Structure 1
Amino acid sequence: MLGGTMAKASVREISRITGFSPATVSNALNRKRSVSEETAKVILECAQSLGYQQSTQLESIQFVLARKTGAILDESTFHPAVIEGVERQARRHGMSTSFVSLDFSDLDAVRPQVEGLIADPSAAIVLMGTELGEEDYALFADAAAHLIVLDGWSDRQYFDAVVIANTDSVLRAVDYLIEKGHRQIGYLAGDLRIRNFKDRERGYRQALEDADLEANPAWHVTLGTTLEGAYHDMGVWLDNVSRDDLPTAFFAENDVLAVGAMRAFNEHGIRVPEDVSIIGFDDLSLGAFSNPPLTTVHVPKHEVGEIAVRRLVGNIRNPKSYTCKTAVSTYFVERQSVCEI
């Protein structure tokens, strides 16, 4: 447990006296920019008059797994590894970890659940934002709880976040294909356009532009984000394209897409990497055991979870008036799904 002085007055008492909501009071005490200077002054003066001292005690962390469709989260081993990192770092600080799964497919239905989670100013939340969009993050805008978003980011809300360096990582992966002699490079995109995928596509296009190569729309293939969906959709695309019209390589937005596509290539008599090279993203275990083993981008999943907890602890100990987005770097894993031409 993090040590600290017990508060002489509660957030709810300050809320009662000033007339501001507990969430607004908590945000002001934590120096968050979402509170106006005038409002913050009233709240801070009230807190000072009551002898309020900010508590730095934190006994537990809630890990919130937010599903929009589940088609990405449920198909991947990414978030279980992240959870292990959160738990490991929490234990180092003497904290327990609890888990909540929320369905964001119906915002009206999930709203009361979110409001219940974020109302407690002593709570700490790690929000898995992989599948979330701006309309979903808006539900957390008035959080009194300490909150950090993991694998997601809001342009409109003042949240701290830990994200993957998607664009830079893909740019380097496509550079690798170019260094191997590939000039016709296609793109395998998930049919759910989460922020991570959009950022990865940006890296792909930037790498081609920097090399004066064309991002041919005919080689931009949209696939379902499950293994079965990617396999099926890749097969349908291959049924309607001539072998002579294939690119020499594809970058896939994640390993699930890559492995599903590789199965379709195999069934259509297209050899990987002799006929088509392919690179994935995430470095999931299924890629290491695919045929051939998948060249991919490794994401340090455990470390991502650990960083989120360290940031939460730091924010509670030293409240600040700004938010930070931490981009975690990746590294390249060279296996056998790419050949030089």
Structure 2
Amino acid sequence: MRNVGVREISRKTGFSPATVSNALSNKRNVSRETSEKILAVAKELGYARRGKVARVVFVLARKTGEVLDEGTFHPGVMEGVEKAASAVGLPMSFVTLDLTSPNAASQASDIARDITSAVVLLGTEMRGDDYSLFAETEAPLVVVDGWSDHLFFDCVVTANESSAFRATSYLVEHGHKDIGYIAGAYRIKNFPLRERGYRRALREAGLAANPAFRVEVGTTVSTAYEAMRSWLETKPLLPTAFFAENDTMALGAMRAMVEAGVSIPDDVSFVGFDDLPFATVATPPLTTMRIPNHEMGSIAVDLLMEQLNAPRYYQKTIHLSTMMIERDSVRSI
């Protein structure tokens, strides 16, 4: 067959290159009727996907590193990807995509057009416009810990809102009525959903979210510590408990409170989110929501295999629940 490209099929069908690419890749929100028209013309023109998937590429999309660099979430996802890829006979390679680099578009295009690779894209720090880099991808692609509201990809994400709802409800069940919220200054897409779950849990319990108890901190241990220390210097009224958007912020805030003479959990209880290894050795050990990061990586590979072996005209978003890990940072009132 001759070398026929996406743009030639686009000219012939009248559909945009992005729609053609989506239809040929069987992994975007293209209607069945449109897909059938595009595939028929592609066959008529002699189009054939060249090459065979030979590897899984784990792409860490990095914007600031303020969330990714402090935790062990992405290494856990990577391990899950590597193990699942090995089970189907594929090696895994690792690429960092610096979203702030002037070369980001070129690098993303190279990744997206390499049909010998299947891509797991870590979207933790990605925002809306960042996904446009992969709008015309031809490689099989699954997003982990991220999603686009305008483009459609197979995604594996944490059930952020329901998990935060459960964490806050846990505090309510332990008698807490004044429950504060520790928010990250850098707002990745997961965080507003967690805040929505926190607010919903309070609302359903007949409680109000007190704006005075919402503390915005940095997303590293050191910046969370500094922000909480500054807040405590104002001598604020303290809630009896805090839910923190992740463990990193919780640990930094707890350190500042202990130094200020606040006893945890006697004065203030804490629940975090992630279950970092450091949570077990905090003083006291941190109650938190455990994310199944290995499983997220494994499921991402399963979705890639579906795209290759059983193409479909719709996309999947899989939400994984978290597990409550009870330790010593919460007291009953």
- TM-score (structure 2 length as normaliser): 0.92
Residue in 2 that maps onto 1:334? 326
Amino acid at match of 2:91: S
Q: CA RMSD in A?
A: 2.2
Change beyond 3 A, Cα 1:160–1:337: same
Task: For 1:1-341, list aligned pairs within 5 A.
Answer: 9=1, 12-13=3-4, 15=6, 18=9, 25-33=20-28, 40-49=35-44, 57-106=52-101, 108-242=102-236, 245-341=237-333
Q: Distance in 2 between matches of 1:22 and 1:186?
A: 49
Which deviates the most, 136-145 or 16-25?
16-25
Change beyond 3 A, Cα 1:31–1:83: closer
Which SS does the other structure have where 2:4 is aligned? helix
Write out per-residue CA displacement over residues 193-223 of structure 1, whole angstroms, 9 at most, x where no aligned residue.
Answer: 1111111001000000101111000000000
Q: Distance in 2 between matches of 1:146 and 1:310?
A: 12
Q: Distance in 1 between matches of 2:84 and 2:75?
A: 14
Q: Distance in 2 between matches of 1:176 and 1:37?
A: 45
Which SS does the other structure have where 1:121 is aligned? coil
Q: Give the CA deviation at 1:316.
A: 1.2
Q: Give the CA deviation at 1:32.
A: 4.4
Which deviates the most, 307-316 or 34-43?
34-43
Aligned residues: 329
- TM-score (structure 1 length as normaliser): 0.90
Identity in percent: 50
Write out per-residue CA displacement over residues 158-204 of structure 1, whole angstroms, 9 at most, x where no aligned residue.
Answer: 11100000110110111110010000000000101111111100100
Q: Distance in 1 between matches of 2:68 and 2:88?
A: 28
Q: Give the CA deviation at 1:44.
A: 1.5
Change beyond 3 A, Cα 1:311–1:56: farther
Q: Distance in 2 between matches of 1:129 and 1:283?
A: 19
Write out per-residue CA displacement over residues 129-163 of structure 1, whole angstroms, 9 at most, x where no aligned residue.
Answer: 00110010111111111111000011110111000
Change beyond 3 A, Cα 1:93–1:37: closer
C-alpha contact (below 8 Å) 1:225/1:257 kept by paired residues: yes
C-alpha contact (below 8 Å) 2:30/2:314 kept by paired residues: no
Q: Distance in 1 between matches of 2:51 and 2:305?
A: 8
Which deviates the most, 32-41 or 178-187?
32-41
Q: Give the CA deviation at 1:59.
A: 2.0
Amino acid at match of 2:286: L
Change beyond 3 A, Cα 1:40–1:219: same
Which SS does the other structure have where 1:149 is aligned? strand
Q: Give the CA deviation at 1:296.
A: 0.3
Q: Distance in 1 between matches of 2:51 and 2:105?
A: 28
Q: Which runs of 5+ in 1 are unaligned?
A: 1-8
